[in-house]
Structures are given as C-alpha cells and as structure tokens.
Structure 1
Amino acid sequence: MKDESSVNQEQLDRPAIGIILRILSGALFAAMAIFVKAVSADVPVGQIVFFRSAFALIPLVVFLWMRGEFPGGLATRRPLDHLLRSALGAAAMFASFASIARLPLAEATLLGYLSPIFTAIAGVVILSERATAWRAAGVILGTLGVVALVWPELGQSTAHETRLIGFGFGLLMGLLTAFALIMVRSLSRTESPGAIAFYFVVASMIGGIATLPFGWAAPSLSQFLYLVGAGIFGGFAHICMTLAFRYTEASRLAPFEYLAILWPILADLILFGEPLTHPFLLALPLVLAGAVVAALEASRRASSLKD
C-alpha cells in the first residue's frame, strides 16, 4: 500500500489529469442541471431529487466497487455526522432544483458560487476562526453581487414573485451547501470520500421519495429519460470531481471550477433562449470575485496549517 507521501507525489506529478477531470465534471454537472431544467415545469422537485439520486447510485456503486470500497469501505464510526452532512446536502439539492425551476440556469448556478463566502462566514461564527481582511473582502464582494442581481426585481413596482422565490432558494442552497462542506471537511479526517458520497446520495433519494404523498407526475418517455440522465450525469460528475482532487491540488483546480459557469450561460442562450440580463452581467464578476477571494483565503489558511 502506498504511504501518504507517495500518494501526494503522485498527485503532484499528474496535474493535467486533474484539470481535465475538473473541467469534465463541470460540464457533466451542467448537463445534469440542463436535464433538471428541462423537466422542472412539469415534474415536482421531490421527484426530480429522487431520480437524480437513485440513478446516480449506479455509477457511484460501480466506481466504489472497482476501487474495492464497496461495501467494506462504507463502514463508519460516525453515523450521526454522516446523517447531518447528508441531510444538509439533500436539503441543498432540493433548494438548488427549486431555484433552477424558477430562474435562468446561469443565475441559479451563479448563486451556488456563494457557498465559499457562506463557508467563510460560518467559519468565523460557528468555528470561532479569525475574521481576516480576505474573508471580509469576499463577503463584501459576494453581497454586492447578490444586491446587483436582486435589486432590479425589488425596484419594480410589481416584483416578479417567482424570480424572488428563486433567488431565495438559490441563497438557501448556497448556505446549506456551506454547512454541508464544513461537515465534509470534518468527516474527511476519518471517513473515505466514497462513504461520504454514498450516504449523501442515499439520504437524498430517501428525501425525494418521502415527497411521494404530496403528488408525483407521470413523466412522458422524454421526461423519464431526462430524469435518468440527470442522475447518471450527476453521478459521473461527482466521480470526476473526486478523482480530480486525487491528482491535483485544490488551489490549481479553483480557476477551472469557476470556468464552469460558461456551460449554464451557453445553455441559457442556445437551449432555453434566455438572454443574459444586465443585472446578471454586473453580478457575475462580483460573485465570482468574492468566491475566489474566499477560496484563496481558505487555501492560504490550509497551507499555513501544513507548514
């Protein structure tokens, strides 16, 4: 078995593989979101969450089995922590899909980039981490971006209620994702990434099927294929992202993570006929800059702890 130093050296020796996998994961996540958007007008959110999670299990279980982590690698001594992380992640998925149903794909995706900013805030408030100028700058830039995106809606005499609800779900998704990532950071010290991903998918599937009494739609053949595609693509996207971090340091992958916003923009323009609004174009650099600053601060902190 390779020791930790040899694994780290292997990661540093193959950065190009990690970058390719990170770009691929962004494209796959975008494809998943496109399928979700395509059925969101006719299929309830809970049903979408169930299909996305259930069919994501197929590539995930195959991947874990090929790595020798299924089922033995799923053993855990921290079931309650897994339950909390999975519940937060499942709730974030519900909020994300509800936002996608009400907003252009690019706008809903952009709000997801607020999660590093919320994570920075949570680190100070919950974990008693030191408030730095980097964190303050990230929070300010992210807040300005949200204001730029939402303010035109509030400034209208009759605000578009559907869009405002979509913005609310998008912000909730970013907040829940931040808390989920804090739990992932804690779990990663003792648990395998495969186990963390598996329990999250199972919890999301259970949460989705729990909405069955509230009414599910009978999907057409094309809608069913979209739902299956959302799960398959989402599962492969998660696998690619996991492998990317095995081959390349997170700091090298960060720019390619933010590059992924291009796919939802192209989907809105080409597939859904949604024009890019002036508020979105103003909010885009502000939110991304805030996320980058927050991520860089976290990277600097992690490097200093290693030293």
Structure 2
Amino acid sequence: MPTPPMPVPTGANPLLGIGLKVLSVIVFVAMQSSLKAGGEGVPPGQLVFFRSFFALIPVVIYLAWLGELRTALRTDDLPGHVLRGVVGVVSMGLGFYALTRLPYPEWVTISYAAPLLTVVFAVIFLKEVVRAYRWAAVAIGLVGIVIVSAPNFTALGDPSGSAHATGALAALAGAAVAAVAMIQIRRLVRKEKTATIVVYFSLTSSLVALVTLPFGWVWLTPWQALLLIVAGFCGGVGQLLLTACYRHADTSTIAPFEYTSLVFAVAIGALVFDEPVGASTLVGGAIVVMAGIFIILRERQLGIERARARKVSPPQG
C-alpha cells in the first residue's frame, strides 16, 4: 500500500515530485511484472513473504543512512501496526493470486477500485462527509470496474474462463481489503511517523506471511527465486520513491500520475506476456481513470475552499 502523503515543505518542487512519482510507478510495475513472471504456481502467502521481507533491505539501508533506523521502531500503537500488517497481507495475497491469473492490464485496472472504495469506507469508518460529486464519481468508476470484469463471468463454461473469473473476484476482493488498509493508514498517520508505518508494515506482513509456510509453500527454481527477490527489492525502492515524491508536491498534483501504470501495464502485457488488451479493459479502464482523477481534483478544490474559509473566519473568543 502506498505511504500516506506528507505535508509539502517550503521550497517544494512539483516537477521533481512528479518525476519521483512516475519513477515509483515504473518500479512498482517492475515489481508486479516480476511477481507475475515468477509467481506461476507459487502460493499467495509465499509471494507476500518475498514481497515484504526483501522490501526491508532498501528501506533499512535508507533509514540507517539517515540515522533514523532506531527511532523508526518507536511506536505508541503496536496493535494498530499489527492490524495494518494483517490487513495488508490479506490484500496482497488476494491481489497476487489474481495477478498470476489475469492479463496484467486487466489486473491493474481492477486494482484501481481500491481508491474508489476508500471513499466509501471513509464514510463508514471515519465518518467523513462525502458530497454528491464524489459519490457520482465513485459510482461511475465502479461501473468501469464492472465493464472490465464482466467478460470473465460470461466465460465460466470453460476452465480458462473459470480461472479468469476466480482471478477477477480475487482482484476485486483484494481492492476492497486494500481500501480498508488505507483507512487504517489514515488512522495511524495521525500519530505515527511515515518511516514507522513502513517498517512495521514490512516486518508484520513478513511474519504473518511466514505463518503460511506449513500450508504448502513450494520449492522455487533459481529463476523464480531471483524474480521474487527482485520483486521484493523493487517494492521497497518503490515505497521510498513514493514517500519522497510527496515531499516535493502536494497529493492533488502527484496522485493523477498513478494512472500511468495502466499505460505501462498495457505495453508490458503485450510485449512481455503476449496478452492482448480487450475492448472492455480499454473502455472500463478509461472510465475508472477519469472517475479517479475527478475525485482527486474535487479533493483539491475542497481543500482550497476550506483554506479560504479558515482565512476569512473571524477569530474566536
């Protein structure tokens, strides 16, 4: 899951922030491609372990270089971090299971349901106020997800169609659980440092994933092991880049570039995995991307309005 956004410091550099965001997307696409290429027949719990454990290497090196490794482990909410780790493992497990069974562009598009569902869960769990514009965008975005997913459920008569339908269901469930994880991150970020959230997530998710060892881990080929280690390392590097990009630009500037991952997914799906892109994926993906960008822009507008309201409000007392 993405690291929560940080306040933009004085002297922000939006172009640098955008560049770091796009670079993080490329690294995460490399992570997902490595998991897809090396994860055939590998249990989801084992994939989650490699993704989480080897992500610690670049994160620990970076924090040690900053001199923040010791303080990164200080927390006032250990149960909150454990809960975030468990939810994250479930989300990644479902997502990785789906990734090995669906065409890559389709999997990426369905995963975009997570930020849409985060809006819904924020109303339920955080009591946030969501007005008609955002509700409409969420509804339209979910229609796009249905358009992408529907063909998988019309081909249940043959084994490949059944496998795709199972993958689509897992991807949707993973996106829903990822939205729950984002709500937990919002709770943690109110009192915990970003570095603490990142470190504890990698630690707890590695330990939780390790518990699945007795339930059928497989012996990896050297090529599979290399790909999964690369996936984990890329996950850690991508997390650091994502964290860094929010130091240089605000969320509304950065967030739309998340959708560049669909462009990379289409290219890699065609060139590396020989996966044709269906019309439903292109149409549904376009709808989801437009809905997501609308929500981001609406959030920016509301933020500007709230800032203006604070400036003109008379002092209290």
After TM superposition, the score normalised by the length of structure 1 is 0.92
Structure 1 residue 301, shift from structure 2 partner: 4.1
- Per-residue CA deviations over 1:33-53 (Å, capped at 9, x if unaligned) read 011001221322211111111
Classify the secondary structure of the residue corresponding to 2:275. Answer: coil
The equivalent of 2:315 in structure 1 is none
Q: Which moved more, 1:132-141 or 1:270-279?
A: 132-141
Classify the secondary structure of the residue corresponding to 1:196. Answer: helix
The equivalent of 2:250 in structure 1 is 249
Asked if the contact 1:114/1:291 (under 8 Å) is kept, the reply is no
Cα separation, 2, equivalents of 1:224 and 1:252 = 37
1:212 and 2:213 aligned = yes
Structure 1 residue 209, shift from structure 2 partner: 1.2
Structure 1 residue 214, shift from structure 2 partner: 1.1
Structure 1 residue 203, shift from structure 2 partner: 1.6
The equivalent of 1:8 in structure 2 is 9
Structure 1 residue 238, shift from structure 2 partner: 0.5
The equivalent of 1:260 in structure 2 is 261
- Per-residue CA deviations over 1:208-247 (Å, capped at 9, x if unaligned) read 2111111121111111110110011111000000000111
The equivalent of 1:69 in structure 2 is 68
Mapping 1:126-137, distance limit 5 Å: 126-137=125-136
Q: Which moved more, 1:74-83 or 1:236-245?
A: 74-83
Q: Which moved more, 1:235-244 or 1:101-110?
A: 101-110
Structure 1 residue 304, shift from structure 2 partner: 4.5
The equivalent of 1:18 in structure 2 is 17
The equivalent of 2:293 in structure 1 is 292
RMSD of aligned Cα (Å): 1.8
Structure 1 residue 65, shift from structure 2 partner: 1.4
Mapping 1:147-296, distance limit 5 Å: 147-156=146-155, 158=157, 160-296=161-297
Asked if the contact 2:25/2:261 (under 8 Å) is kept, the reply is yes
- The answer for unaligned runs of 5 or more in structure 1 is 1-5
Q: Which moved more, 1:27-36 or 1:217-226?
A: 217-226
Asked if the contact 2:95/2:174 (under 8 Å) is kept, the reply is yes
- Per-residue CA deviations over 1:23-73 (Å, capped at 9, x if unaligned) read 110000000001100122132221111111111110010111122221222
Classify the secondary structure of the residue corresponding to 1:246. Answer: coil
Structure 1 residue 83, shift from structure 2 partner: 1.6
Structure 1 residue 156, shift from structure 2 partner: 4.2
The equivalent of 1:41 in structure 2 is 40
Mapping 1:109-148, distance limit 5 Å: 109-148=108-147
- The answer for unaligned runs of 5 or more in structure 2 is 1-6, 311-317
Classify the secondary structure of the residue corresponding to 1:71. Answer: helix
Structure 1 residue 251, shift from structure 2 partner: 1.0
After TM superposition, the score normalised by the length of structure 2 is 0.89
The equivalent of 1:3 in structure 2 is none
**What amino acid does structure 1 have at the position aligned with 2:22?**
I
**What amino acid does structure 1 have at the position aligned with 2:28?**
F
Structure 1 residue 295, shift from structure 2 partner: 2.8
Cα separation, 1, equivalents of 2:56 and 2:219 = 22
How many percent identity over aligned positions? 32
**What amino acid does structure 2 have at the position aligned with 1:243?**
A
Q: How many correspondences in the alignment?
A: 300
- Per-residue CA deviations over 1:258-294 (Å, capped at 9, x if unaligned) read 1122111111000000000111111111111222223
Seen in structure 2, the aligned counterparts of structure 1 residues 269 and 247 have a Cα distance that, compared at 3 Å, is same
Cα separation, 1, equivalents of 2:130 and 2:210 = 41
Structure 1 residue 303, shift from structure 2 partner: 4.3
Asked if the contact 1:57/1:201 (under 8 Å) is kept, the reply is yes
Seen in structure 2, the aligned counterparts of structure 1 residues 239 and 274 have a Cα distance that, compared at 3 Å, is same
Asked if the contact 1:141/1:289 (under 8 Å) is kept, the reply is no
Asked if the contact 2:110/2:149 (under 8 Å) is kept, the reply is no
Classify the secondary structure of the residue corresponding to 1:8. Answer: coil
**What amino acid does structure 1 have at the position aligned with 2:153?**
L
Cα separation, 2, equivalents of 1:196 and 1:48 = 21
